[in-house]
A and B are shown apart, each in its own frame.
Chain A
């Protein structure tokens, strides 16, 4: 089999043309085809070795038109619908009651996420312990609070007074009903529930650090706790961040469940309003609008965090950078 040498360029090819009649060196991709029938191609103005012409995608245009039509239809339906009542939507969008509810939703989500993070860290660390009782406790906790539907858990905690009338002992006891309000029950329920998921997220982060890293740490005389703090945790953080962001977005939305116990959140307030004026759809649109805003903000924040923690210099530098940014 004779090797066809790659052409060196168009200039070289034309230079060689008169002296070498059918040399493979002067063959361009187009000529290689045309030479089969002994008719040299002369019509090609374009450099035969230039970047290939782009492939056309007519299907992209068809899709865009179809989706565009559907979008216009949806907007039309929403704008002209009798029960949408956009004037009511506009009236309540920034009303004080809705703003209060929005603020409660933010508080519930942020406080519960922070508590859940603490629960997750502690339980994930306990889960690494050699003590079998501690490991069993962690597994039971995760099994229980991940297994129980959040709605059921919230109702149980809100009604705790029915089966635990007082908390504490001796002179240090309080009436359960004084402690459990809609808000506090919401915080407790959301934190316990989210804590179970965060335990799993953090445990997965620990597992992602290769075994050799721990062995190396042990081999220079580090104790287990120190190995965890200085070697495993800093490397696990970048694995833990993205799912934590997802968890937070999930929590933000799940916090609307506290409406059933009068948690005072966005949905609770909207329900209170449409309970008296019957403008159900406009108020649910208001609620939807604010949840979408919150989730979008959270997504931007998550993107920012992920970028910070994956940057050059490794997660530790990023931890320092975030610490500076927070301070």
Chain B
């Protein structure tokens, strides 16, 4: 399935996940190399977001494993066997996996700058000044340095999502997961968020993006995986999958999305 020669940054192997009787992930395997951008597309309920949340271990999986760099999601190797991770080990694992949510989930009681620096201060134990410097740099990279004192409720959806991206960036993760980052935005605000993500991709950030923005997927992603009913129906170079889909299911989906 994979053509990369170097060992992948993210490895997903035989991941299975059910909610009650409904199997939402059926034996998913994929790899993401460093500096690669993988877009997950597909109809709602196909398991894209669940897979993403498994990578950050916000969801437990029922089988299989996920590895980022050398660390396992929700597990540690002890004596050659996987053991469930403690809360502290899980927190360590998550520091290298950034996450951007559909509904931004900015900390509502903190300013834009504090949203970006709280992880540096509390998790990394960084000093106030150093954290603020790095926070401002992260905000500048999403073009919002002038709004550092604003509270989330005074920011537009697009601005909130850009702050959320800065918050993830500030922790210097190895990979950032985007869970439908533009789905909750007014149409005229989608562009500014996609532009930031495009710049990140060009800067070499490894990204896994669940999205319904086909043009973004086609132009920015290195590869696209089409998911349907808990399986990866088709995966390949972005333009190949979107312009000349092979699977019938992909064709039907893309014709509906337009």
The yes or no verdict on A and B being binding partners is yes
Give chain A's interface residues, CB within 8 Å of chain B.
210, 212-213, 215-224, 226, 230-231, 234-235, 313-316
A216 touches B101 (CB 8 A): yes
Known: A234-B109, A314-B151, A315-B109. A220 touches B58 (CB 8 A): no
Question: Can you report 28 A-B residue pairs in the complex whose CB atoms are below 8 A from each other?
Answer: A212-B101, A213-B105, A215-B101, A215-B105, A216-B99, A216-B101, A216-B164, A217-B107, A218-B90, A218-B91, A219-B97, A219-B168, A220-B94, A220-B123, A220-B168, A221-B92, A221-B119, A222-B123, A223-B87, A224-B87, A226-B123, A230-B122, A231-B107, A235-B109, A313-B151, A314-B109, A314-B110, A316-B109
> Which residues of the partner chain B approach A235 to less than 8 Å between Cβ atoms?
107-109
**Interface status of B134 (Cβ within 8 A of chain A):** no
B90 CB → nearest A CB, Å = 8
Q: Which partner residue on chain A sits nearest B108 by CB separation? A: A235
Q: Are B58 and A216 in contact (CB under 8 A)?
A: no
- Specify which chain B residues have a CB less than 8 angstroms from the CB of A219 in the assembled complex: 56, 58, 94, 97-99, 101, 168
Decide if the interface of chain A is mainly helix, strand, loop or mixed.
helix
A215 in contact with B58 given A223-B87, A226-B122, A314-B151 (CB within 8 Å): yes
Task: Please name all residues of chain B whose beta carbon is closer than 8 Å to the beta carbon of A234 when the two chains form the complex.
Answer: 109
Tell me the complex Cα distance, A220–B90, Å: 11
Instruction: Give chain A residues whose Cβ lies under 8 Å from the Cβ of B91.
Output: 218, 221-223
Residue of chain B at shortest CB distance from A313 = B151
Q: Give the chain B neighbours of A212 by CB distance below 8 A.
A: 101, 103, 105
Q: Which 6 A-B pairs have the closest CB atoms?
A: A221-B95, A220-B119, A219-B99, A212-B105, A216-B105, A314-B109
Most-contacted residue by chain A among B105, B109, B168 (CB, 10 A):
B109
B contact residues vs A (CB 8 Å cutoff): 56, 58, 87-88, 90-92, 94-95, 97-99, 101, 103, 105-110, 118-119, 122-123, 151, 164, 167-168, 171
Given A216-B101, A314-B151, residue A221 in contact with residue B109 (CB < 8 A): no
Contact partner of A230 among B99, B118, B151, B164, CB < 8 A?
Answer: B118
- Give chain B residues whose Cβ lies under 8 Å from the Cβ of A216: 99, 101, 105-107, 164, 167
Q: Which residue among A210, A219, A230 has the maximum number of chain B CB atoms within 10 Å of its CB? A: A219
A sample of 19 more A-B contacts (CB under 8 A), given A218-B94, A219-B101, is A210-B105, A213-B108, A215-B101, A215-B105, A216-B101, A216-B167, A219-B99, A220-B119, A220-B167, A220-B171, A221-B94, A221-B95, A221-B123, A223-B87, A223-B88, A224-B87, A230-B122, A231-B107, A314-B109
Instruction: Kindly state the separation between the CA atoms of A212 and B107 in the bound complex, as whole angstroms.
Output: 9
- For B98, the chain A residues whose CB sits under 8 A away are 219-220
Whole-angstrom CA separation of A56 from B168 in the bound complex: 60
Residue in B58, B107, B118, B151 whose CB lies within 8 Å of A218: B58
In the complex the two chains form, what is the Cα distance from A221 to B95 in whole Å? 5
| Contact residues in B for A231 (Cβ distance below 8 Å) | 107
Residues of A within 8 A of B167 (CB): 216, 220
A208 to chain B, nearest CB (A): 12
Chain B, residue nearest A220 (CB) = B119
Distance between Cα atoms of A9 and B167 in the complex (Å): 55
Instruction: Give the one of B88, B90, B98, B105 with max A CB within 10 A.
Output: B105
Shortest distance in angstroms between A219's beta carbon and chain B's nearest beta carbon?
4
Residues of A within 8 A of B97 (CB): 219
CA distance A224 to B108 in the complex (A): 18
What are the residues of chain A within 8 A of B119 when measuring CB–CB?
220-222
- Residue among A212, A221, A234 with most chain B CB within 10 A: A221
Q: Complex: how many Å from CA A235 to CA B152?
A: 13
A314 and B168 CA atoms in complex are apart in Å by: 23
Most chain B CB inside 10 Å of its own CB: which residue of A213, A216, A313: A216
Shortest beta-carbon distance, A117 to chain B, in Å?
A: 21
Chain B residues with CB below 8 A from A226, complex form? 122-123
Q: Which residue of A lies closest to B58 (CB)?
A: A215
Min CB–CB distance B93 → chain A (angstroms): 8
Residue of B nearest to A235 (CB): B109
Q: In the assembled complex, which residues on chain B have CB atoms less than 8 Å from the CB atom of A230?
A: 118, 122
In angstroms, Cα B58 to Cα A212, docked, is: 11
Contacts of A221 in B (CB 8 A): 91-92, 94-95, 119, 123, 171
Q: Please, which residues of chain A bring their CB within 8 A of the CB of B99? A: 215-216, 219
Q: Which B residue sits closest to A319, measured CB to CB? A: B109
Scoring B94, B98, B99, B107 by chain A CB atoms within 10 A of each residue's CB, the highest score goes to B107
